[in-house]
Amino acid sequence: MNTNPSDDEQRDWVERTLLQIREGEASQEDIERLRNLLMTDGAARRVYLEIKQMEWMLETVPERSMAQHHRAAVTVTRSRWSAWARAGVAAAAALMLFVWQGIHRDSAMSVKDGPVATVTSSYQAVFNGREVQERELPLHAGTFTLERGSVRLAFACGADVVIEGPAVFDLVDATTMHLNRGSLWAHCPESARGFLVRMPGGRELVDLGTEFGTRVDDGGAAEVQVIKGEVKVSDAISKPLNLTEGNAAGWTVTAPPVAMSFGRMKPFQNAATLTEKIRTAPSSEHQTRVQYEQPSGDWSEAGNWTSKALPGTHELERVVINDSKIVRVTQKTPRPAHPVDVHVSNGSPATLEIADDLECQILRIATADGARGTVIQTGGTLNVTESFIASSHDGAIATSTYTLSHGALQVGHDLAIGTRGPSVFTLQGSNATVSGERMNLGTGATLAFVLDADGAGVVQLRDTLAADHEARLQIDGSQYRGGTKTIPLVICGAQKMEGRFQPASVSLTGFQGVTARVVNRPGSIDLELTAH
């Protein structure tokens, strides 16, 4: 919309109509007109989104008062809202505050009377900055960040919910939650019928006796898949959409739901798959610590380990490399008979050098306060069947580096890097490949590519890359001689990204004869090299 009187009138009409819809006073003609306008006018959709985001702020985040949310929202939009609209929002805010106070004063499910849900199990979960321990954890209403891993929640109403990180969500009461980002699976018995999941853009999923999965990306786009039963998708504008077993839909914050192919969607992690992960993952409490004893030496020398046997010979082993030790994988070692977890520095500096094949279940680099861990891979395949965790464990402030110059790193699930300290993850040359399900780059993470004469290595993910706004991308082109081309750096199978590298956090150095720039696309990060 251009800033002229007719546009201002249209904006006021959109605001007024939305309030009438909320109060049940809008005519069918006005609703149809608004629906058509939102389908064709991008500026009108922005107005709609602003209002829905304001409503969301007024209705959620219990740890801050409703009045605080109202003041913040009005401050953001005051210059563009009419006096009529401000008065309407103020009245709505006062009404919401009154209702909110009444509900939380009288309800048996209120914050002060008890939790609205309980974490009954978890897998490698870092929850609000702390790793979840193997015990039940009651949750009151509030906002929660699941940095990585998965948690299973039992709601007081009976809903059974699995949330897979990275995710951000709000618990409102025993029957209502907001999913702002992440992946969710829910099973709702009859007692939980009507369980409500609110989502960005003012949309809601209402359970009608079902099992369903839904996920929200960093931009608010979402999808839902009905596994059993029925789910109603609704908002203030679009006609409600009822999805039954075997159906799926997707949408953005400014566009209505459209049908999606059930078979092509990524499966959701449910209670059964989470339980199996937990069952097959050894607990550190039950693991036997096997430590490298020599100052430096070969991994495949059994006598160098405290167990006097190669790691994985016995069940439930945790391999620890500490005390400035340097351990080298220089020849083919037999596949371990049992899965092992490998810790490279859980207190003092340590280095693992890999020149040939190695397999472990979980690789953790720098896992305690002040720890410094280094992994250098110059060949072979490092097969991590579960998760790669660097400077991201137990809330520790630690420093880690991983450098791959030749060979492959294969990770079964997540790569969590730099959420609890500085971590540099480097691919050197075009013969370096990394694969996994997801990569989560935290505030301390640096993803670095050092090009050789031909190009760069690539990170291939079956799902998404999630990059914190403070994460850094560094690209060194001083050895590159391959001319103009487009080089893929990260490829996401989900065809979407969660978070972007900020321009100030991208470093391009050493390029000669070409102009280099990083291009963020829906499913990839590419390096474009063009002539000067």
3-state secondary structure 116-137: CEEEEEEEEEEECCEECCCCCE
468 close to 444: Cβ distance less than 8 angstroms: no
Q: How confident is the model at residue 112 (pLDDT cuts 50, 70, 90)?
A: very low
Confidence of residue 385 (pLDDT cuts 50, 70, 90): very high
Higher pLDDT, 215 or 72: 215
DSSP strands (E only) in 128-175: 130-131, 137-139, 142-155, 160-173
Query: Is the pLDDT confidence value at 190 over 50?
Result: yes
Tell me how far apart the alpha carbons of residues 348 and 366 are, in angstroms, rounded to a whole number.
9
CA distance 132 to 303: 36
pLDDT band at 415 (very low <50, low <70, confident <90, very high): very high
Helices (H), 263-401: 271-280
The whole-number pLDDT of residue 52 equals: 58
Q: Which of 64-73, 385-394, 483-492 ranks highest by mean pLDDT?
A: 483-492
DSSP string, 33-102: HHHHHHHH-HHHHHHHHHHHHHHHHHH--TTS-HHHHHHHHHHHHGGGS-HHHHHHHHHHHHHHHHHHHH
Interval 220-229 mean pLDDT? 91
Note whether 490 and 523 are within 8 A (CB).
no
pLDDT at 109 over 50: no
Q: What is the pLDDT of residue 425?
A: 98
Identify whether the C-beta of residue 436 lies closer than 8 Å to the C-beta of residue 414: yes
* Least confident segment among 202-206, 228-232, 253-257: 253-257
Nearest alpha carbon to residue 291 among 304, 274, 282, 279: 304
Q: Check: CB of residue 137 under 8 Å from CB of residue 117.
A: no
Question: Which of 19-23, 240-244, 477-481, 514-518 is least confident?
Answer: 19-23
Least confident range from 147-161, 256-270, 459-473, 485-499: namely 256-270
pLDDT of residue 219: 80
221 to 12, 217, 262: CA distances (angstroms): 27, 6, 17
> Who wins on pLDDT, 58 or 360?
360
The percentage of the chain sitting over the pLDDT mark of 90, rounded to a whole number, equals: 47
Instruction: Give residue 426's pLDDT band: very low, low, confident or very high (50, 70, 90).
Output: very high
CA distances to 25, 213, 267, 491 from 263, rounded to whole Å, are 41, 13, 9, 22
Largest pairwise CA distance in the chain:
84
Measured in degrees and rounded to the nearest 5, phi and psi for residue 209 equal: 90, 80
What is the predicted pLDDT for the residue at 17?
A: 80
Mean pLDDT throughout 115-120? 91
At 397 the pLDDT is 83
Which comes out higher in pLDDT, residue 95 or 527? 527
Peptide bond into 311 cis (omega under 30): no
d(CA 240, CA 32): 13
In this predicted structure, what is the pLDDT of residue 134?
63
- Parse the chain into domains and list their residue ranges: 5-106, 117-277, 288-531
Per-residue pLDDT at 373: 96
Angle at alpha carbon of residue 218, lines to 216 and 219, rounded to 5°: 90
Cα separation, 263 vs 90, in Å, equals 46
Residue 285: left (phi > 0), alpha (psi -120 to 50), or beta? alpha
Sign of CA pseudo-dihedral 212, 168, 418, 473 = positive
Task: Note the pLDDT tens digit of each residue in 305-348.
Answer: 999 999 999 888 999 999 999 999 998 778 888 889 999 998 78
- Distant-in-sequence, close-in-space partners of 358: CB < 8 Å, separation ≥ 6: 299, 329, 333, 380, 381, 382, 383
Task: Specify the pLDDT at position 369.
Answer: 81
CB 457 within 8 A of CB 480: no
Q: How confident is the model at residue 92 (pLDDT cuts 50, 70, 90)?
A: very low
The pLDDT confidence band at residue 74, using thresholds 50, 70 and 90, is very low
Which residue's structure tokens are 């992946």?
183
Q: Tokens for 460, please give them.
A: 């291939």
Q: Whole-angstrom Cα distance, residue 171 to residue 160? A: 14
Q: For residue 463, which of 177, 183, 245 has the smallest C-alpha distance?
A: 183
Instruction: Say yes or no to pLDDT of 355 above 70.
Output: yes
Q: Is the pLDDT of residue 137 over 70?
A: yes
Burial 148-184 (b: 16+ CB within 10 A, else e): bbbbbbbbbbbbbbbbbbbbbbbbbbbbbbbbbbbbb
Cα-based distances in Å from 438 to 224, 243, 321, 387: 20, 29, 26, 10
Residue 515 banded pLDDT, cuts 50, 70, 90: very high
CATH 2.60.120.1440, applies to 117-277: yes
Q: Using 50, 70 and 90 to split pLDDT, how confident is the model at 259?
A: confident
- Say whether pTM exceeds 0.75: no
Burial 85-114 (b: 16+ CB within 10 A, else e): beebbeebbeebbeebeeebeeeebbbeee
Give the pLDDT of residue 432: 97
The span from the CA of 303 to the CA of 63, in Å, is 56
Residue 298 exposure: Cα atoms within 13 Å on the Cβ side? 10
Q: What is the mean pLDDT of the chain?
A: 81
pLDDT class of 460 with cuts at 50, 70, 90: very high
Nearest-angstrom CA–CA distance, 351 and 347 = 13
Chain centroid offset of residue 483 CA: 36
DSSP state of 479: T
Amino acid at 261: S
